[in-house]
Structure 1
Amino acid sequence: MKFYVILASSVLLSACTGEVDDVPTDGTHGNSAAVIGGTAGAPADGAPSAGERPPTREEAEAILERVVALYQDHAAAANPAGTHKISWRIDWESDAVSAHVLLNPGEDWTIEVSKGWLTVSSMTTEVFALTMCHEMGHFIGGFPFKTSGRGDSTGALGTSVSSEGQADYFATKDCLPRLWANETEANAAAFAELDPSARERCTTAYSDLASQQLCGRILVASLQTGRLYEEQAVLQAPREIVYPQFDTPDTTEAAVTKEGHAPSQCRLDTLVAGAVCSVKETGTGIPGFVPPYGEYSSASQEAARPFACQTGPGARPRCWFQPDTVATDCSELGQQACVVEDGVQGVRYCDTTSGVTYYWCILDEVCKTSSDGVADCYAPDVDPEEGSR
């Protein structure tokens, strides 16, 4: 059974036509200098640098190849050892704005990207690298996992899909530092673009110049990515665009850890936290991938604890991560079931992080359960297996 995790909803962009190599080169797609207030790193002829324009086809494929190569040893070590590997695919025929991962028992862990994702507004090579690290984070990032609809709880897939916030955190904490560690010239140029207060985040977090400059480049990419996330969110639910910034953190506090996408400011806060967290993953294990696999459990949380900052600027922000979330035992209730209360039929859901919730049927609807265990509300004459009679 395929298991999908969608980074961006499939939004068809009619303006995205032609080959990726033919994208504009006039700086209109996400100029980082306009965001950060500098032009360091731009070529002398005025053409945008690679960090200020969408990637070419060759650049995109090279980035994916490098990101995948970084973590093949993790896949090879996953249970059962030697049976998994990571692959990637770009759909050059699709203008949909989509990047996601697929898990298939006995098959590859696959990162799949559409051409539309490569040409979306505000896309740059730096953003593409970060978002591909985000996708890798769904495989490797570990606890907290997506507990709803995860597709497997036996460990047979060799991993469980990390939540959206954890994938963001992994991207800047572990993946980009490995990907860009030796690109000292680009790191130094990006560090020079930052204003003093942003640079101070990195100089406070790291004592050596190379790490500070690498951190600075990750912050530049994070701010660009935050803009893209905001623009995509507004496309999904139209409203005024409010671009996230370093100095306007999301001060909300989630009651329980969120599995899905947080608002763009919260996502930027998470990317920044990852960039300044000096605690890096070690070995080839997946943090928190212990029985019961993919659950929000004390065992999983404790197993993952050594691989993340728990306090300070590098800790995952409370706008999505709640370390005091109490796991609910759904083993007796099951994930969902039909219930009746005061003569009204409905569906009871049980999730390890959000607990027990109910969806009540309306009018004359009744709750029915299909053969695969999915409960839902239907009109009395509707068969959940066959549709309307």
Structure 2
Amino acid sequence: MKNGILISALTMTMSLSSVFACDIHGKSGFMPENNLRISKYDKDTNGMTQEKFEAIIKRVSDAYAPIVATKGATLEMVNNWDDETVNAYANRNGNVWQVNMFGGLARHPLTTDDGFLLVVCHETGHHLGGAPKYGGGTDWAANEGQADYFGSLKCMKRILEKDDNVSIVAKMTVDAAATKACQLVYKNEGEVALCQRIAMAGKSLGQLLGSLGGDKAVNFSTPDKKIVKSTNDAHPAAQCRLDTYFSGSLCDKAFSEDVSETSPIPGVCIKRDGYKVGPRPLCWYKPGAGE
């Protein structure tokens, strides 16, 4: 980690109740519990500004606040720009559904603008991502893997669809493996570019998670080979999370096709329907008999 980034000697102590998600027990956020702090005064950051931070969050709020309103609730974005915490979390306070974003995470050198947008989508996904949920479906929150999947499959596509993605991607360095996979699924140039953009947002977060977890070799060409015996609600490994973001980008289900609060099947890609790419990765998800 660059020397300009301040690492606190104290362990992060967010006091969260059972209504908080990214770890439903309040032990962590979007990322596992960590001691990393990045001040707005640090020099070795990614160049994120408060204006850009707020604008990215607003894009998600503008898209999803009306959807949350149809469910009788209010979506509240809590913008903690000054906070040095390298994390994010979601919680509910009655009918107020909150997404808590922190400047520390937004400023991390490995967090791209699109990567940060994907984190906002992940946290929104705890509220709207559907099944599988924490506690075998007994809790309100989509589990970690599902929030990741929703983030790239539904939220990022909804937010970015109308951007000039071809021009944006032309200025990016995109992994050849991601480009090839996107071109095999999508034929329209704009759809390919959108897929590439989301995939690279996922790589940004995969590398960030890997850097903190001691796994720096996170890449599209090295998928996690683990096969779980039962669905893991907690944070999967960094490579598994990248695989999940990538799968979401490669699933061609429309973002307007809703997921279900009770069933993991509607609105997603499953093998039963002939999908070889796009289903949830087996490194965290155990498919049911109907999948």
TM-score when normalising by structure 1? 0.62
Deviation at 1:191, TM superposition (A): 8.1
**Counterpart position of 1:67:** 60
Contact 1:309 1:315 in 2 (8 A): yes
Contact 1:54 1:123 in 2 (8 A): no
**Counterpart position of 1:307:** 267
- Number of equivalences: 263
Q: Among 222, 229, 236, which residue is 2:209 paired with? A: 229
Deviation at 1:262, TM superposition (A): 0.4
**Counterpart position of 1:330:** none
The reply to whether residue 141 of structure 1 matches residue 129 of structure 2 is: yes
The reply to whether residue 244 of structure 1 matches residue 233 of structure 2 is: no
**Counterpart position of 2:85:** 96
Alignment CA distance shift 1:201-1:192 (3 Å): farther
- Superposed CA deviations along residues 170-191 of structure 1, whole A, max 9, x for unmatched, are 1111111111112215655258
Q: What SS does the corresponding residue of 2:101 show, helix, strand or coil?
A: strand
Deviation at 1:69, TM superposition (A): 1.5
Counterpart of 1:69, as a letter, is D
Matches within 5 A, 1:102-251: 102-106=91-95, 108-147=96-135, 160-185=140-165, 188-189=168-169, 193-234=173-214, 241-251=215-225
Deviation at 1:270, TM superposition (A): 0.5
**Counterpart position of 1:3:** 19
The 1-side partners of 2:147 and 2:133 are apart by 10
- Superposed CA deviations along residues 72-131 of structure 1, whole A, max 9, x for unmatched, are 2321121xxxx311111122443222200111113x111112222222341221211111
Identity of matched residues, %: 27
Alignment CA distance shift 1:278-1:133 (3 Å): same
Contact 1:226 1:243 in 2 (8 A): no
Q: Normalized per residue, which structure has more helix?
A: 2
- Superposed CA deviations along residues 16-59 of structure 1, whole A, max 9, x for unmatched, are 2345xx754xxxx5xxxxxxxxxxxxxxxxxxxxxxx3421111
The reply to whether residue 282 of structure 1 matches residue 256 of structure 2 is: yes
Q: What SS does the corresponding residue of 1:138 show, helix, strand or coil?
A: helix
**Counterpart position of 2:26:** none
Contact 1:226 1:267 in 2 (8 A): yes
The 2-side partners of 1:99 and 1:2 are apart by 16
Runs of 4+ in structure 1 off by over 6 angstroms are none
Counterpart of 2:84, as a letter, is D
Alignment CA distance shift 1:54-1:271 (3 Å): farther
Matches within 5 A, 1:24-43: 24=44
The 2-side partners of 1:270 and 1:190 are apart by 24
Contact 2:60 2:120 in 1 (8 A): yes
Deviation at 1:198, TM superposition (A): 2.4
Q: What SS does the corresponding residue of 1:109 show, helix, strand or coil?
A: strand
Counterpart of 2:68, as a letter, is A
Deviation at 1:8, TM superposition (A): 2.3
Counterpart of 2:104, as a letter, is G
The 1-side partners of 2:65 and 2:18 are apart by 20
- Superposed CA deviations along residues 212-268 of structure 1, whole A, max 9, x for unmatched, are 11111111111111101112324xxxxxx3321111111110000110110011101
Contact 1:256 1:325 in 2 (8 A): no
The 2-side partners of 1:23 and 1:132 are apart by 24
Counterpart of 1:127, as a letter, is G
Pair member with larger Rg? 1
**Counterpart position of 1:322:** 286
Q: Normalized per residue, which structure has more strand?
A: 1
Alignment CA distance shift 1:261-1:54 (3 Å): farther
**Counterpart position of 1:17:** 39
Unaligned runs of 5+ in 1: 30-52, 154-159, 235-240, 290-299, 327-389
Contact 1:177 1:214 in 2 (8 A): yes
The 2-side partners of 1:114 and 1:77 are apart by 27
**Counterpart position of 2:239:** 265
TM-score when normalising by structure 2? 0.82
The 1-side partners of 2:189 and 2:88 are apart by 34
The reply to whether residue 87 of structure 1 matches residue 76 of structure 2 is: yes
RMSD: 2.4
- Superposed CA deviations along residues 349-387 of structure 1, whole A, max 9, x for unmatched, are xxxxxxxxxxxxxxxxxxxxxxxxxxxxxxxxxxxxxxx
